[in-house]
Structures are given as C-alpha cells and as structure tokens.
C-alpha cells in the first residue's frame, strides 16, 4: 500500500471529532493498511485516521515491536499518571513533556468488527491515549499547562512548515526514538 500524506497542525480535519465506524468492509481494511504503512514509514509510534484526512475512529500503533490497530476505542484510564516526552507526526519537531495515565484498558473492535481489549502501560498507554485524542479532535499540545502550551505555539509559529498553503510532510527526528505519535 502507498503511504499517505500526514496532515499538519492547522488542517481543520485534525480538530474535528471522528465518526464511529459502522462498516467493517474492504475500505476499512485498506484504511488500516494505509495507516500502518504511513506510520511505519514516518516512523511513528501511532497514527490516527484524521492524520491522513479520514474522519473515522481508527488508529494504529507500533510500540516496542508490537503492531496493532483499534477501531471505535473506548478507554478506561488508571488514576496513576506518567509525565514524559510526547511528539506528534502532525506537529513535526515538537516534543514536550505531557501528563498521561500510566495504564490504559482500551476496548473496541478490530478491522473485521471483532471485539478486542488492549491493555497497556507507559509508552503503549501514552500512544493509545494520544491517538484516541486525535479521534476526538484533541492534540497533545491541548494537554500542556499554560506555559508549555505558549512555548509550543511559539515553536509552531517559528517552524518552517507552519502556515504553508500546501505543507510538505516533514518527519520528526524524534519519531525515530519512538516519540512521534
């Protein structure tokens, strides 16, 4: 499957809540393949359908050698939190410490409509929360405290890709360290 262009900050599709998947058909399986191929090529630890311009509740992840996908996720988050570096393929070169739940139980379906439950901690928990946020129109910078968010917005405004009419997809060097989600 060919890789797809990754939408960058400023693209309205990144701020729209995605629609629940109801058709578990060949098109959905193709979408999961496109997401997987694009994420691995980037490389990133996760990629949500809105990041390639598709407004459906689907994401993929690739964490610690584990490759997976989830459709229509519903999360149960631990009260215990972690604080660590987070980046995003839709915000190239931007990494900020972000608070997330330490553990997550994610329920949803696979691309065939079969129910699945994914339990993860640390980086997998971070990736699942990050990608589910994308499905809700939320970016990781929205989770930063006021000072960090101002610093992030300053970095975004100063980036070479911000404000371009047709931005070139630029891959983050941080993605190779498992931080590009």
Alpha helices of the chain — where are they, by DSSP H?
26-41, 122-135, 146-158
Q: How does 126-145 read in b/e, with b if 16+ C-beta sit within 10 Å? A: bbbbbbbbbbebbbbbebbe
Sign of CA dihedral 33, 37, 40, 46: negative
CA distance 48 to 59: 4
Angle at Cα 61 formed by Cα 103 and Cα 149, nearest 5°?
70
Catalytic residues: 131
Single out the residue of 55, 77, 93, 70 nearest to residue 126, CA to CA.
77
């Amino acid at each position: 499957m060919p890789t797809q262009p990754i939408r960058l900050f400023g693209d309205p599709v990144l701020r729209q809540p995605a629609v629940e998947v109801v058709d578990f058909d060949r098109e959905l399986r193709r979408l999961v393949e496109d997401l997987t191929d694009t994420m691995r090529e980037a490389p990133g630890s996760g990629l949500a359908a809105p990041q390639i311009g598709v407004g459906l509740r689907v994401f993929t992840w690739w964490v610690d050698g584990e490759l997976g996908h989830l459709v229509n996720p519903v999360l149960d988050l631990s009260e215990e939190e972690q604080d660590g570096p987070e980046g995003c393929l839709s915000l190239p070169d931007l990494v900020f410490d972000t608070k997330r739940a330490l553990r997550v139980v994610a329920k949803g379906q696979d691309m065939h409509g079969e129910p699945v439950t994914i339990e993860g901690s640390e980086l997998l928990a971070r990736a699942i929360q990050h990608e589910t946020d994308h499905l809700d129109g939320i970016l990781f910078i929205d989770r930063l405290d006021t000072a960090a968010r101002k610093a992030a917005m300053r970095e975004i405004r100063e980036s070479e890709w911000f404000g371009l009419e047709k931005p070139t997809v630029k891959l983050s060097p941080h993605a190779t360290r498992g931080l590009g989600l």
